[in-house]
Amino acid sequence: MHTNFKGRDLLTLAELTPEDLTHVLDVAEAPAARWPSFAGSSAALIFMKPSLRTRVSFEVGCVQLGVHPIVMGPYDAFSRHETVHDTIKVLERYVDLIVLRTFAHSHVEEVAEHASVPVINALTDDFHPCQGLADLLTIRQHKGALQGLRLAYVGDGNNMAHTYLLAGALAGMDVVVATPEGYEPARHAVAQASDLAARYVTGSRFEVMRDPAAAVAGADVVVTDTWASMGQEEEHDRRLRDFAGYQVDAAVMGKADPAAIFMHCLPAHRGEEVSDEVIDSARSVVFDEAENRLHAQRAWMSLVL
């Protein structure tokens, strides 16, 4: 049985149990007639980084739940040398929920430490749990179930790679990460995923390797992400060289299961980490995935408010 969600933070997927995860995905698919209303509530949506999908999906999700969204940029929220503690102690007097998209994961942890209202990590350099929920929802919709699937992630061992490891651990999926030397996911993320899989006996297995073709072989889900994330633009040319051979193209997709789907959290750098032929193919579900950000986040907000 899932636990009570009211008032809970979402900083990483590791805070969920497999039962919690299933319940959130079930709520995400509930028809509009069953959405609760939180008229009179408000949410602070703080964006330290640019955003398209995250901002629009959270704003629309808030409105659908009757929550007034207050969108704030870096100069609105954390400026003029005011401490995080003081900023949050003011904000919590006004709003019922804080959503933060930022750089260091320690930033969202500090906000959650001081806030008496729920805090949602809308992306940090280490984790992206909202995208993880949306992606699991997408996989479940296209594959019917999550348990026993093989997810192959090709590319940078970044916040999405970390998130897929934790997602796989909770969902009973095997996760294989193919990445060049020096770009592996953090060891603590791999260890945490293994610990979660053991704790909940989900049977998930994890592997980090170099060869994209070997990682994708027989995979049910093939995923990639940009090679240079926000804040890494100055590394772009070097990363293009380092990631040569890691593009998900038709040849790589051809190694996957014939019924495999392709996913990308977007924005995609077409011609770099993925070819047009793959992202525009019938196997690509990237726009279902983008839509599911709205459904997954609305579900989580409805549970914690």
CA neighbor of 124 nearest in space, from 150, 142, 104: 104
Name the catalytic one among 126, 265, 297, 298: 265
Query: What is the C-alpha to C-alpha distance for residues 121 and 123, in angstroms, rounded to an integer?
Result: 5
**How far, rounded to the nearest angstrom, does the alpha carbon of residue 80 sit from its chain's CA centroid?**
31
**In degrees rounded to 5, what are phi and psi of residue 192?**
-65, -40
Name the catalytic one among 125, 135, 220, 225: 225
Query: What is the C-alpha to C-alpha distance for residues 190 and 102, in angstroms, rounded to an integer?
Result: 23
| 247 included as an active-site residue | no
Name the catalytic one among 101, 107, 150, 239: 101
CB 80 within 8 A of CB 131: no
Name the catalytic one among 128, 150, 239, 295: 128
CB 250 within 8 A of CB 225: no
Name the catalytic one among 293, 295, 297, 298: 293
| 131 included as an active-site residue | yes
Name the catalytic one among 126, 131, 192, 297: 131
Query: What is the C-alpha to C-alpha distance for residues 244 and 154, in angstroms, rounded to an integer?
Result: 12
CB 215 within 8 A of CB 152: yes
DSSP secondary structure, 119-159, as one string: EEE---SS--HHHHHHHHHHHHHHHS--TT-EEEEES--SH
| 293 included as an active-site residue | yes
Q: What angle do CA 186, 126, 84 make, to 5 degrees?
A: 135
CA atoms within 13 A on the CB side of 172: 13
Active site residues: 101, 128, 131, 225, 265, 293
